[in-house]
Amino acid sequence: MTTRAGFVALIGEPNAGKSTLTNQMVGAKVSIVTHKVQTTRARIRGVAIEGDAQIVLVDTPGLFKPRRRLDRAMVAAAWSGASDADIVVLLIEAHRGITEGVEAILENLGEVVGKRPVALAINKIDRVEAPRLLALTQQMNEKFPFTETFLISAEKGHGVNALRKWLAAELPESPWLYPEDQIADLPLRMIAAEMTREKLTLRLHQELPYQLTVETEHWEERDDGSARIDQVIYVVRDGHKGIVLGNKGETIKSISKAAREELEEFLGRRIHLFMQVKVREKWLDEAERYSEMGLDFKDGNA
């Protein structure tokens, strides 16, 4: 039996639906999903199986005009994911069409991918009428020689099977890269931190989503099969600490409960989750924080 395996980079603007598509293709939640842009920071790898093929999905940070060190490191990680992949899928939003951001991605795309196949996935197709979709498909294919075009709704699953089957057939012949039951190539410590960061982003979306980061500081396996996980939430100001804690600690309690429940479901066992909030004014300029996020600190240099 011939098996296939390889890396597929999902690229696009922030909020184009890359994380939702990753989770939909894998069949489990491996990537942080919120309505806020720029929530994916590291290149998260989800592993999907289609027939005899193993598709390793690289969910990259959104491509946008970077302003800060963290932004620049995230954008560098996204382009690096595209340049390392066997196949690249560009996601755009049907209702937004060809934005300035999409134009900027198209300008760099050819140089980054060379001769490797690039598919176009037009997402959120339920938001526009068919004639507009056809016109957008034509315009995009005039701008770049896409190998294939897919019309999808990552959230509802429409068109996702066709994309997964095409990717499986296009990947190079190769032994599988991961064990059959593995769905993500991320340390559990990082998955746990991402789950907590997602809950924080959802709860505090208007206040400070980009000013905080979460690290799993300690992970202890217990004899009864459960695990104790200690996490630190770093914020840049004292006032932010109060926002995360909430009145009488209510906010941090509800975030901790939601993160613990999701972790227990993901790991299939009991979890004891403990959180601390610490002020670190300069965490955005500390190399160690970037390593914990799976980013290269040097990529943040101007």
Average pLDDT estimate for 64-80: 79
What is the separation of C-alpha 52 from the centre of its chain, rounded to a whole number of angstroms?
25
* pLDDT at 32 exceeding the cut of 70: no
The whole-angstrom separation of Cα 13 and Cα 61 is 8
**Average pLDDT over the chain, rounded to whole?**
88
Could you report the per-residue pLDDT of 212-225, keeping only the tens digit for each? 889 999 999 999 99
Least Cα distance to 29 among 267, 290, 289 occurs for: 267
Could you report the per-residue pLDDT of 223-249, keeping only the tens digit for each? 999 999 999 999 988 888 999 999 999
Q: Which residue has the tokens 């769905």?
A: 183
The whole-angstrom separation of Cα 293 and Cα 8 is 21
Sequence-ordered list of residues with C-beta below 8 angstroms from that of 43, at least 6 positions apart, any chain: 58, 59, 60, 61, 77, 78, 80, 81, 294
The whole-angstrom separation of Cα 177 and Cα 229 is 29
H helices of 99-186, in order, are 100-113, 130-143, 160-170
The whole-angstrom separation of Cα 53 and Cα 28 is 18
Banded pLDDT at 126 (limits 50, 70, 90): very high
The whole-angstrom separation of Cα 262 and Cα 268 is 10
The whole-angstrom separation of Cα 91 and Cα 230 is 36
Identify the three-state secondary structure at position 56. Answer: strand
- The residue that leads in pLDDT, 259 or 296, is 259
Q: Is residue 14 within 8 Å of 37, Cβ to Cβ?
A: yes
Exposed, middle or buried, 301 (CB in 10 Å: 0-12/13-18/19+)? exposed
Distances (CA, A) of 278 to 193, 233, 241: 15, 6, 7
Mean pLDDT is lowest, of 4-8, 84-88, 164-168, 285-289, for 285-289
Least Cα distance to 185 among 43, 78, 283 occurs for: 43
pLDDT value for 276: 95
Banded pLDDT at 293 (limits 50, 70, 90): confident
Q: Which two tokens stand for residue 299?
A: 């990529």
Percent of the chain with pLDDT over 90: 56
Q: Is residue 136 within 8 Å of 183, Cβ to Cβ?
A: no
The whole-angstrom separation of Cα 123 and Cα 98 is 13
- The residue that leads in pLDDT, 54 or 289, is 54
Q: What global pTM score does this model have?
A: 0.79
